[in-house]
Copies of this chain bind each other. A is one copy, B any other.
Amino acid sequence: MEKIKQLQRDFADFMAQTDFGGQPTELYDPIAYTILQSGKRLRPMLCLLANDMFGGDEKQALWPALALETFHNFTLIHDDIMDKAPLRRGMATVYQKWNSDIAILSGDAMLAMAFQFALKPEKGGELAKQLGKVAIEICEGQQMDLNFETLGNVTIDEYLEMIRLKTAVLLATALQMGATVAGASATDIQHLYDFGINLGMSFQLQDDILDLYSDVATFGKRHGGDIADNKKTYLYLKALELASDKDRKRLEHLFTLRMDHDEEEKIEEVEAIYGRLHVKEAVEKVMLDYDRKAFEELKAVGLPEEQKNHLKVYAELLSGRKK
């Protein structure tokens, strides 16, 4: 835990030293506003822990870590325009506080800045290629997510591919970048990348479950928000698969209702159907399967197990298996 806290402090210090200002202020203020908000810094931490695991130079790894955080915040700014989200981390989103034009442009500048940061270390060319690849994949994932809103039939495989592209690949790339800076072997980098993919899939399925089955105070989001928004999550798609004709038709109907309907009543009814079908248990099984695969990949990395401990502890903390 001491190592994790130290890396968190080091990254916070590195961010504090970075100058996100510039002219015109209309372009740079939203950048500083977004990136300096407190966040988990999940992606930088995965990068720094991977680098540390292979004995890499932390000074070099701080650059891709910063690139990842800048890139991640660019995706949030643009996604919030598309999702018409009023709030992010409890604060007004950029397009709400300023306007869409500024949100588009500030995001664009952040994407370019992310490449500039990734290019700083000696292995900058390789890191920038990894960032370019993941950037395109995330655009694909976001477009799939947008398509799903209006698409009648979404298969479970399509959903899994969407969350792989929208969430998992960036965690995997964060680990890949850290290991690359440290000069790890191609085989070890691949195992670590696959660890990240499976961990990311597990996280997203956990998120889907927590939307409905969680202590709202701890999770910090409204109960059943995905159902209210008619989001086709894994829970919903699994329920359709398991349901009788009658339940399936009812679910499909409920997921067309908008705000004007009684939200609480709708969530309760969906919850009752999910309960009958044991959807939660079915999704948990898939989630734990990804989790297991993740840690198998970590085990396959050619280092003594004790060297993997910090990353392992951090990943377990995140997945809520350790408190």
A-to-B contact residues, CB < 8 Å: 22-24, 26-27, 78, 81-82, 100-102, 104-109, 111-113, 115-116, 119, 124-125, 128-129, 131-133, 135-136, 139-140, 142-144, 146-147
Contacts and interface: CB of A to CB of B under 8 A. Distances in A.
- For the complex of A and B, 6 pairs with smallest distance between CB atoms: A112-B135, A125-B125, A109-B139, A27-B143, A116-B132, A82-B101
A119 B132 CA distance: 9
A228 to B, nearest CB: 21
Contacts of A132: 112-113, 115-116, 119
A273 to B, nearest CB: 30
Contacts of A22: 140
Candidate in A100, A106, A115 with the most chain B CB atoms within 10 angstroms: A115
A108 B113 CA distance: 13
Nearest to A135: B112
B128 A112 contact: no
B119 A136 contact: no
Contacts of A24: 140, 143-144, 147
Contacts of A147: 24, 26
A101 B24 CA distance: 25
Contact of A135 (B78, B108, B125, B129): B108
Contact of A104 (B27, B82, B106): B82
A107 B139 CA distance: 10
Contact of A136 (B100, B109, B135): B109
Candidate in A26, A81, A113, A128 with the most chain B CB atoms within 10 angstroms: A128
Given A101-B146, A119-B125, A146-B101, A139 B27 contact: yes
A108 B138 CA distance: 10
Given A81-B104, A111-B108, A135-B108, A116 B143 contact: no
Contact of A128 (B113, B119, B140, B144): B119
A82 to B, nearest CB: 4
A132 B111 CA distance: 9
Contacts of A102: 143, 146
Contacts of A105: 78, 82, 139, 142-143, 146
B101 A139 contact: no
